[in-house]
Amino acid sequence: MKHKTEDELFAYREGEMKGREAIAAHLQQCGECRAELERIEEVFAALNAMPVPDPGEAYGAKVWQQIADRLPEQNASWWRGLFAPRRLMAFGTAVALLAVAFYAGRKTGPPAGGERVADAGKVRERVLVVAVGEHLGKSE
Ligand SMILES: [Zn+2]
């Protein structure tokens, strides 16, 4: 039996009609693909549940550019679906909140001004990669 790709499952979740019946039929018989769809659902549920103060439209796009290359190739295509403006904003906001919490939690001394900015940037990237990795790694 040929499994459905993340792209197909993502399209199915988004209400795409093409191939819908075949995917639904496959999902009925295939626990693996159901689990995969659930994993995708979880990520979106988490994103949609986040509060959305306005971090500025450019922010989400900038963050995305920073992480796009780090995402595992097989997962990259459906993650692009996150480009819907509201999701992108929630995503950027979540990253900012995580970064602030993480950085505040581990700050040990008073670094110089310029250093602090650089460090915060590095920490933010690391936190983001970890957060994304956790979402993507939840399937087992
Ligand atoms: Zn399958």
Q: In this structure, is residue 114 part of a structural domain?
A: no
Q: What was the pLDDT predicted at 46?
A: 80
Could you tell me the distance, in angstroms and rounded to a whole number, from the CA of residue 21 to the centre of ligand 1? 14
Q: In this structure, is residue 120 part of a structural domain?
A: no
What does the alpha-carbon distance between residue 127 and residue 76 come to, in Å, rounded to a whole number?
Answer: 18
| Average pLDDT over all residues of the chain | 71
Q: What was the pLDDT predicted at 10?
A: 87
Q: In this structure, is residue 33 part of a structural domain?
A: yes
Comparing CA positions, the residue from 57, 64, 53, 41 lying closest to residue 100 is 53
Positive/negative CA dihedral, 83, 74, 135, 96: negative
Q: What was the pLDDT predicted at 25?
A: 96
Could you tell me the distance, in angstroms and rounded to a whole number, from the CA of residue 4 to the centre of ligand 1? 5
| Residue 140 reports pLDDT greater than 50 | no
Q: What was the pLDDT predicted at 45?
A: 82
CA 62 to the chain's CA centroid = 14
For 27, the domain range is 1-51
Question: Based on the structure, what is the number of domains in the chain?
Answer: 1
Neighbours of ion ligand 1 (CB under 5 A): 3, 30, 32-33
Q: In this structure, is residue 21 part of a structural domain?
A: yes
pLDDT tens-place string over residues 125-138 = 666 666 666 666 55
Predicted TM-score (pTM) of the model is: 0.39
Could you tell me the distance, in angstroms and rounded to a whole number, from the CA of residue 7 to the centre of ligand 1? 13
Which of 25-29, 64-68, 109-113 is the least confident region?
109-113
Region 29-45 average pLDDT: 90
Q: In this structure, is residue 119 part of a structural domain?
A: no
pLDDT tens-place string over residues 59-97 = 777 777 777 766 655 555 555 555 555 566 666 667 766
Q: Look-up: residue for tokens 């008073």?
A: 110
Could you tell me the distance, in angstroms and rounded to a whole number, from the CA of residue 9 to the centre of ligand 1? 10
Q: What was the pLDDT predicted at 35?
A: 94
Q: In this structure, is residue 37 part of a structural domain?
A: yes
Could you tell me the distance, in angstroms and rounded to a whole number, from the CA of residue 2 to the centre of ligand 1? 6
